[in-house]
Chains A and B, each alone.
Chain A
Amino acid sequence: MMIEFSQVSKRYPGGFEALSQVDFKLEKGELAFLSGHSGAGKSTLLKLIAKLETSSSGQMIVNGVHLNQLKKHDIATYRSGLGITFQSPNLLSDRSVFDNVALPLQIRGTTPLMIVKRVHAALDMVGLLNKEKMLPLHLSAGEQQRVGIARAVVHKPALLLADEPTGNLDPHLSSEIMKIFEQFNQVGVSILIATHDLALIARMKHRIVMLRGGRVC
């Protein structure tokens, strides 16, 4: 099992309960969608998995790691084993596309030769090999999103988390991005994608987990 949530709740300091008693599983090598309206708890669930937030109660196991027992100084190592991409791709504007994609490899101390090889492979998969020297600001929104995805997969993570990856893209670009995710899934990466674009995911034959008011339904 890649992700195993049992009776997980998340209550924010103000008293708002974003998730209540969620049971959720993701098999190894599975691609699943997390859907629901805004405020249904999609982002909170992804944040819990990425250890960007801590749960109020319940048990969470991700790739064999008990998240509640994870020590503060082990969080970075845990996160470096994930691939994370968000609606805003969070690229570093003063570094080239190549350097942005190379970041996860650099933090793992990969040798420069291997970095070049892996970054080129990742950029090739998202179709941006010819733009490696450009700065993110010179790319279109769709291209920036693809750079973000390349950065999320360049270090071959076992689990890829995507929060609204097609949020500000047109339908054509959106389905292209989804195809890229499917390609990664075919090589064995477990993927969890949070999106409210039901029309798009309905066409794809993958499990859809619906969240409503912080509960799985």
Chain B
Amino acid sequence: MLKFLRALGACHLQAATNSFNFLCRRPLATMTTVIVIAIALTLPALFWVFTDNLGQLTIDWQRGSHISLYLKSPMSPGQEDIFLKEIRAIDGVGHATIKTKEEGLNELQQQEGMHDIMRYLPENPLPAVVDVVPSLAVNTPLKIKQLYERLKILPQIEQAKLDMEWLTRLHALLSFVTKIAHALLALLASAVVFIVGNTLRLAIHNRHEEIQVLKLIGATDTFIIRPFLYSGMWYGMVGAIFAVLFVNIFMLSVSVAFQELASVYHMHYPLLGLTVKQAYLIVLVAISLGWLGAKLSVKRQLASIEPYN
């Protein structure tokens, strides 16, 4: 068993190195294919980075969504403090501040024309309001809604108001962009499969004689296909490495312009490139696509080649 595995390992190692050497001997043709694959992979990878950055950005923007809790009966300052502590202890609450009746009235009186109206009122009609900003972990409309439902049923609360319309819109937009990215990914992934398949179809055509000789001396289809499968995997791997490089170069060049734009809006937001994990994933996916492209095109074509004498 060990001997068999060792022999199989030697076979694979040889197929991998042979196919690599074969590709290296034709640098121009190999590079052309690799660059085409790299461009096909760069597009969805860029979209990925783009949606990632947008996702990060919305975490900051989320602070804009908040819940207002209008309290029922007047509370003493001590009771208000205790209630505020209770609210802050609730899971999902990031930040909570109280606006007392008096503060509310002062704010209202400062608005144009309101001062006179307020004077005719016998007493302050405004309730105390607790302003709740959700924590960072509460980052979807659904989670915010859940938090809202939970706060609404507290006995001290008369009414609760949730301001999240624009957040829902943003999320809808984000999921739309993500769906486009997925569709693009599927489209360009199949492009990689076809590029590799077509390149290897030509390679098989060029190595027709060699395959005939191999079949003549009793090589199995698995043995003949193996170097082609490795070629497909090499194409995928090198193409993906170039794609990762392209994406990061692109992000670097864009980040300078982006920072300038952000500073105009008084924002500081660092653009993210591909993470190491994402880069690994792209390489792994590309290797699998290369393998698939090779497998689909080679097996069918091999059956049509028969040895002669």
Residues of A within 8 A of B (CB): 43, 46-47, 50, 52, 76-82, 84, 86, 90-92, 103-104, 106-107, 109-112, 151, 163
Interface positions of B from 1 to 36, Cβ below 8 Å from A: 4, 6-8, 10-11, 14
Interface string of B166-180 (1 = CB under 8 A from A): 000000000000000
Query: Given A90-B213, A107-B220, A47–B10 Cβ distance below 8 Å?
Result: no
Known: A52-B309, A109-B7, A109-B10. 14 other contacts (CB 8 A): A43-B309, A76-B218, A76-B221, A79-B216, A79-B218, A80-B217, A80-B219, A90-B209, A90-B212, A106-B11, A107-B218, A112-B10, A151-B217, A163-B309
Q: Cα distance A63–B221 when bound, in Å?
A: 23
Q: Is the CB of A111 within 8 A of B10?
A: yes
Asked if B308 CB lies within 8 Å of chain A CBs, one says yes
For B218, give the chain A residue with the smallest CB separation.
Answer: A80
Interface string of B210-253 (1 = CB under 8 A from A): 10111111111101000000000000000000000000000000
Residues of chain A contacted by B213 (CB below 8 angstroms): 90-92, 103
Q: Cα distance A78–B306 when bound, in Å?
A: 15
Residues of chain A contacted by B4 (CB below 8 angstroms): 109
Query: Given A47-B309, A92-B210, A163-B309, A107–B8 Cβ distance below 8 Å?
Result: no
Query: Given A47-B309, A163-B309, A76–B7 Cβ distance below 8 Å?
Result: no
Q: Is the CB of B309 within 8 A of A103?
A: no
Residues of chain B contacted by A80 (CB below 8 angstroms): 217-219
Asked if B55 CB lies within 8 Å of chain A CBs, one says no
Q: Cα distance A78–B217 when bound, in Å?
A: 10
Instruction: Give 4 closest A-B pairs by Cβ, nearest first.
Output: A80-B218, A79-B218, A109-B7, A76-B220
Q: Cα distance A92–B22 when bound, in Å?
A: 13
Residues of B within 8 A of A (CB): 4, 6-8, 10-11, 14, 209-210, 212-221, 223, 306-309
| Residue of B6, B212, B216, B308 with highest tally of chain A CB at under 10 A | B216
Residues of chain A contacted by B11 (CB below 8 angstroms): 106, 109
B208 CB to nearest A CB, Å: 12
Q: Cα distance A50–B213 when bound, in Å?
A: 13
Q: Cα distance A47–B306 when bound, in Å?
A: 12
B81 CB to nearest A CB, Å: 80
B307 CB to nearest A CB, Å: 6
Query: Given A80-B219, A103-B214, A109–B309 Cβ distance below 8 Å?
Result: no
Residues of chain B contacted by A46 (CB below 8 angstroms): 309
Residues of chain A contacted by B212 (CB below 8 angstroms): 90
For B14, give the chain A residue with the smallest CB separation.
Answer: A106
For A115, give the chain B residue with the smallest CB separation.
Answer: B10
Q: Cα distance A132–B217 when bound, in Å?
A: 20
Q: Is the CB of A84 within 8 A of B217?
A: yes
Q: Is the CB of B217 within 8 A of A79?
A: yes
For A102, give the chain B residue with the smallest CB separation.
Answer: B14
Q: Is the CB of B220 within 8 A of A77?
A: yes
Q: Cα distance A171–B220 when bound, in Å?
A: 37
Q: Cα distance A109–B215 when bound, in Å?
A: 16
Q: Cα distance A86–B213 when bound, in Å?
A: 11
